[in-house]
Amino acid sequence: MAKPALGRGLGALLGGTTPSAKPTLPPASTPTPVAAPAVIDERDRVQKVPLDRVQPCPFQPRKDFTPESLQELADSIKEQGIIQPLIVRKKGDRFELIAGERRWRAAQLASLKEVPIILREADDREVLELALIENLQRENLNPIEEALGYSELVSAFQMRQEDVATKVGKSRAVVANALRLLKLPADVQTFVRDNRLSVGHAKVILGLPSADEQKLAAERILKDGLNVRQTEELVTRLQQPAVTVSAHTRNGSATPVIRDVHVTNLESKLRERLGTKVQLRYRAGKGALDIRFYSDDELERIVQLLGISLE
């Protein structure tokens, strides 16, 4: 059996004929077939477009871009150009980013006129999914950005946590724990976003029932440099039941006292100022102030905050 010519497959791929192959003429009665034009997949074609025609996407989960790292990337782009094209979708007469906002921002700093893009067709949900996946794979998102991305998929697109986990390649427990971070007060979320508190700290803080107590715990962690184990001990102490104030009727039964909003507000301010659990009992101009401490060092700290010298 004759060995097939090596160039035949390559010639067919390029749309030509191999030199060694003799052309076969069709019968006179058969029309010569016309070759179909080669189709170029637009999804793989890199185009250059004006930078000012590219706009950011509202579904971008990443919100924090540090100026220093952007400037470093801009300096690199000035020297080498943008090596990896931006992924975009058509939006009217403009292009909306799906992936590559950091490169787009750096290109602006580098004063580029044009940027390379690859065009994709995607609806809003697919855009968010693609942006989330890209950032998660690169570990670009802080824990709060990651949680907000999951929350957007759940709330805006009515996806279950199981579906979100499947889409982004995470376990359901990872998604559920991330979403719990959004129950923290805004101030505490900022500490996590800025990496001042770890996710481990945040999970322990979530064991406290009120936003005030959660903020108090976060401030104590930052002030005293507590690790996660020490934070667990702090939260356990803060969860100890406070002494309840009650009024006694003539038959000796106790009825709860409705607390004045001004007393509650003052108690909250004292708690924030002293950084520990405080209870203010007040009635008709009389009462008591209960300030908790759990070590000699803590007592010394509170005394100093009150302006009292131990010497």
Residues carrying an active site annotation: 101
Number of alpha helices (DSSP H) and beta strands (DSSP E) in the chain: 13, 9
Which candidate, 95, 152, 153, 84, places its Cα nearest to that of 120? 95
**248 beta partners:** 254
Residue 183 corresponds to which tokens in the numbers above? 């129950």
Spatial distance between the Cα atoms of 299 and 311, rounded to a whole number of angstroms: 15
Side-chain half-sphere CA neighbours of 16 within 13 A: 7
- Any residues with CB less than 8 A from the CB of 272 and at least 6 apart, and which? 212, 215, 216, 219
Which candidate, 94, 59, 44, 228, places its Cα nearest to that of 217? 228
For residues 60-84, b (16+ Cβ closer than 10 Å) or e, as one string?
bbbeeeeeeebeebbeebeeeebee
Using DSSP's 3-state secondary structure scheme, residue 196 falls into coil
Residue 301 corresponds to which tokens in the numbers above? 């700290």
Spatial distance between the Cα atoms of 291 and 309, rounded to a whole number of angstroms: 18
Q: How far is CA 80 from the centre of its chain?
A: 30
CB 145 within 8 A of CB 194: no
CB 147 within 8 A of CB 188: no
